[in-house]
């Protein structure tokens, strides 16, 4: 994906000016979400870091962030969020044929189709290459049988990034293929899994004799591991940067969520109303929020609280400096893994400090907006819900996109050159390896 030399681009103020001028011409809160995203996406402002040829502006990541900020500051609805823009699109842009880019990228930038990630299985999470979902060739199609789990947004998705085993007779990393898989077809059953936040963010997905055409195989049969690693690289980089929160949009892409026909302006108003956002959205301003809360409760005078606030601030600053070094062109091996580890650490510290500041009220959580109102009134603290929401969600980021332990392994083996754990994975046929059950 085109990350260009910033020096060859107009100054960032010009980027802001350019997108703002475009917004002045084009933003209309009366448009439907679908109509607005059509304009935004085809003008290259939904995915400005993508190449000009494929719905982007060849911008650097920093410039892309400026575009999101400009859209937010303008008060327009931001780009469609979700895994299409964050993961599937960039992956297809790297590995897809032109025909596949044509078929999938437009619907991603215009929010017409929502995507989910069909990677993890009950016996294959950290050991993702041990996946057992089967794809059997049948003419020009593949027949899919197997189960996926923890599929975020599976219930809203039109398409899935599916990893399936197309050849059990070769070593495990070589027998995997990556498909763009239609979710709305016979033989696909999506069952929600409720989390302790009260929401059902993710799902189990069962595939029984489901089908996918061979022309939806990205990078060809047996090359899925390479493609999956590209997706995971984008996932870690996006998460480390607090990704998935493209511009200011709270509308959901895709045909199932039902937002495409709604008035675009209503989603901007809703965003300004606060709440929503979730833990990832909160992280950016979280340390400032905690300072404000500590000031209001008088705990800012407590030296232990002050010290914890400073530690959090320092971590955030180190993360910011790392980003600046990257922008300045530094080659930092393992930076995606480090960014992900840093983000989950900051989230845990924010949770612990937030709960210390709110005290016993932190044991109270409202699971819907009605109860939230009652709780806000009873405690007099409208920020309490954000803290408890973050506390309940906080284990998530150190698990998804590869657990913290797995990030440490990758840094150890691929960056520091430490020896790998001995195994036969790379030489023995997958069918002969011991399996997780």
Ligand X SMILES: Cc1cc2nc3c(=O)[nH]c(=O)nc-3n(C[C@H](O)[C@H](O)[C@H](O)COP(=O)(O)OP(=O)(O)OC[C@H]3O[C@@H](n4cnc5c(N)ncnc54)[C@H](O)[C@@H]3O)c2cc1C
Q: Between residues 344 and 381, which has the closer beta carbon with respect to ligand X?
A: 344
Q: Between residues 48 and 80, which has the closer beta carbon with respect to ligand X?
A: 80
Judged by CB under 6 A, the chain residues 138 through 197 that form the site for ligand X are 150-152
Determine if 126 is a binding residue for ligand X (CB under 6 A).
yes
Q: Between residues 178 and 400, which has the closer beta carbon with respect to ligand X?
A: 400
- Virtual torsion, Cα 53, 55, 58, 63, nearest 10 deg: 170
Distance between first and last Cα of the chain: 38
Determine if 407 is a binding residue for ligand X (CB under 6 A).
no
Which region, judged by CB under 6 A, interacts with ligand X, from 137-145, 212-220, 260-268, 395-403? 395-403
Determine if 405 is a binding residue for ligand X (CB under 6 A).
yes
Options 235, 245, 349, 389, the catalytic residue: 235
Give the DSSP H/E element, type plus range, for residue 286: helix 278-297
- Are 83 and 152 within 8 A, CB to CB? yes
**Nearest to 172, CA basis, from 125, 216, 127, 136:** 127
Active site residue 99: no
Q: Which residue in 32, 342, 345, 403 binds ligand X (CB under 6 A)?
A: 403
DSSP states of 136-164: EEETTEEEEEEEE-S-TTTTT-SEEEEEE
Rounded-to-integer distance, Cα 372 and Cα 432, Å: 54
Q: Which residue in 170, 190, 399, 411 binds ligand X (CB under 6 A)?
A: 399
Helix axes 335-358, 303-327, angle to 10 degrees: 160
Q: Which residue in 119, 178, 179, 267 binds ligand X (CB under 6 A)?
A: 119
Least Cβ distance, residue 138 to ligand X (angstroms): 25
Q: Between residues 39 and 236, which has the closer beta carbon with respect to ligand X?
A: 236
Determine if 125 is a binding residue for ligand X (CB under 6 A).
yes
Q: Which residue in 396, 407, 410, 430 binds ligand X (CB under 6 A)?
A: 396
Give the DSSP H/E element, type plus range, for residue 69: helix 61-74
Which region, judged by CB under 6 A, interacts with ligand X, from 111-119, 186-194, 245-253, 427-435? 111-119
Q: Between residues 129 and 366, which has the closer beta carbon with respect to ligand X?
A: 129
Least Cβ distance, residue 367 to ligand X (angstroms): 17
- Are 42 and 110 within 8 A, CB to CB? yes
Which region, judged by CB under 6 A, interacts with ligand X, from 33-41, 99-107, 277-285, 404-412? 404-412
Q: Between residues 202 and 225, which has the closer beta carbon with respect to ligand X?
A: 202
- Are 173 and 240 within 8 A, CB to CB? no
CB 334: neighbour CB atoms within 10 A?
Answer: 16
**Nearest to 38, CA basis, from 88, 99, 98, 80:** 80
Least Cβ distance, residue 406 to ligand X (angstroms): 6
Q: Between residues 23 and 162, which has the closer beta carbon with respect to ligand X?
A: 162
Question: What phi and psi values does residue 405 have, to the nearest 5 degrees?
Answer: -65, -40
Least Cβ distance, residue 174 to ligand X (angstroms): 20
- The residue number whose beta carbon is nearest to ligand X equals 125
Determine if 234 is a binding residue for ligand X (CB under 6 A).
no
Q: Which two tokens stand for residue 100?
A: 């596949």
Which region, judged by CB under 6 A, interacts with ligand X, from 1-9, 114-122, 244-252, 278-286? 114-122
Least Cβ distance, residue 271 to ligand X (angstroms): 22
Least Cβ distance, residue 361 to ligand X (angstroms): 25
- Are 54 and 89 within 8 A, CB to CB? no
Least Cβ distance, residue 414 to ligand X (angstroms): 14
Q: Which two tokens stand for residue 376?
A: 């806000």
Residues in contact with 288: Cβ distance below 8 Å, sequence separation at least 6, in sequence order: none
Q: Which two tokens stand for residue 273?
A: 């109303």
Q: Which residue in 49, 110, 112, 117 binds ligand X (CB under 6 A)?
A: 117
Determine if 337 is a binding residue for ligand X (CB under 6 A).
no
**Nearest to 115, CA basis, from 254, 277, 227, 300:** 254
Rounded-to-integer distance, Cα 337 and Cα 416, Å: 13
Binding residues for ligand X, total number by CB under 6 A = 18
Least Cβ distance, residue 151 to ligand X (angstroms): 5
Question: What phi and psi values does residue 159 have, to the nearest 5 degrees?
Answer: -135, 155
Strand partners, 161: 117, 180
Q: Which residue in 244, 400, 407, 430 binds ligand X (CB under 6 A)?
A: 400
Determine if 120 is a binding residue for ligand X (CB under 6 A).
yes
Rounded-to-integer distance, Cα 251 and Cα 253, Å: 7
Q: Between residues 65 and 398, which has the closer beta carbon with respect to ligand X?
A: 398
**Nearest to 36, CA basis, from 71, 82, 83, 84:** 71
Contact residues toward ligand X (CB under 6 A) are 116-117, 119-120, 125-126, 150-152, 202, 396, 399-400, 402-403, 405-406, 409
The catalytic residues are 235
């Amino acid at each position: 994906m085109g990350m260009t030399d910033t020096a060859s681009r107009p100054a960032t103020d010009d980027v802001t000016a350019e997108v703002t001028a475009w917004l002045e011409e084009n933003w209309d809160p009366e448009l439907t979400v679908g109509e607005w995203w059509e304009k935004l996406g085809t003008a290259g402002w939904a995915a400005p870091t993508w190449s000009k040829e494929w719905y982007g502006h060849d911008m650097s990541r920093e410039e892309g962030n400026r575009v999101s900020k400009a859209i937010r500051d303008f008060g327009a609805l931001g780009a469609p969020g979700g895994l299409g823009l964050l993961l599937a699109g960039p992956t297809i842009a790297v590995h897809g044929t032109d025909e596949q880019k044509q078929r999938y990228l437009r619907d991603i930038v215009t929010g017409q189709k929502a995507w989910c990630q069909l990677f993890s299985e009950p016996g294959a999470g950290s050991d993702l290459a041990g996946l057992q979902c089967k794809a059997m060739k049948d003419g020009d199609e593949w027949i899919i049988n197997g189960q996926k789990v923890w599929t975020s947004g599976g219930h809203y998705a039109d398409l899935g990034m599916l990893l399936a085993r197309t050849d059990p007779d070769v070593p495990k990393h070589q027998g995997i293929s990556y498909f763009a898989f239609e979710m709305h077809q016979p033989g696909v059953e999506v069952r929600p899994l409720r989390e302790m936040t009260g929401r059902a963010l993710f799902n189990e997905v069962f595939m029984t004799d489901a089908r996918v055409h061979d022309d939806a195989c990205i990078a060809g049969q047996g090359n899925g591991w390479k493609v999956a690693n590209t997706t995971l690289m984008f996932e870690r980089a996006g998460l480390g940067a607090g990704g998935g929160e493209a511009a200011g949009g709270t509308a959901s892409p895709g045909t199932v969520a039902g937002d495409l026909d709604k008035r675009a302006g209503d989603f901007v108003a809703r965003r300004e109303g606060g709440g929503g956002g979730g833990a990832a959205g909160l992280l950016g301003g979280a340390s400032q929020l905690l300072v404000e809360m500590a000031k209001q409760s008088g705990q800012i005078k407590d030296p232990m609280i002050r010290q914890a606030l400073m530690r959090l601030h320092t971590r955030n600053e180190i993360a910011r400096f790392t980003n600046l070094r990257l922008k300045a062109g530094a080659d930092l091996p393992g930076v995606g893994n480090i960014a992900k580890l840093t983000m989950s650490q900051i989230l845990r510290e924010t949770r612990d400090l937030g709960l210390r500041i709110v005290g016993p009220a932190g044991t109270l959580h409202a699971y819907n907006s009605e109860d939230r109102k009652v709780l806000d009134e009873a405690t007099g603290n409208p920020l309490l819900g954000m803290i408890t929401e973050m506390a309940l969600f906080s284990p998530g980021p150190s698990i998804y996109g590869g657990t913290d332990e797995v990030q440490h392994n990758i840094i150890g083996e691929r960056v520091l050159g430490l020896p790998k754990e001995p195994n036969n994975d790379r030489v023995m046929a997958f069918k002969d390896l011991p399996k997780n059950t």
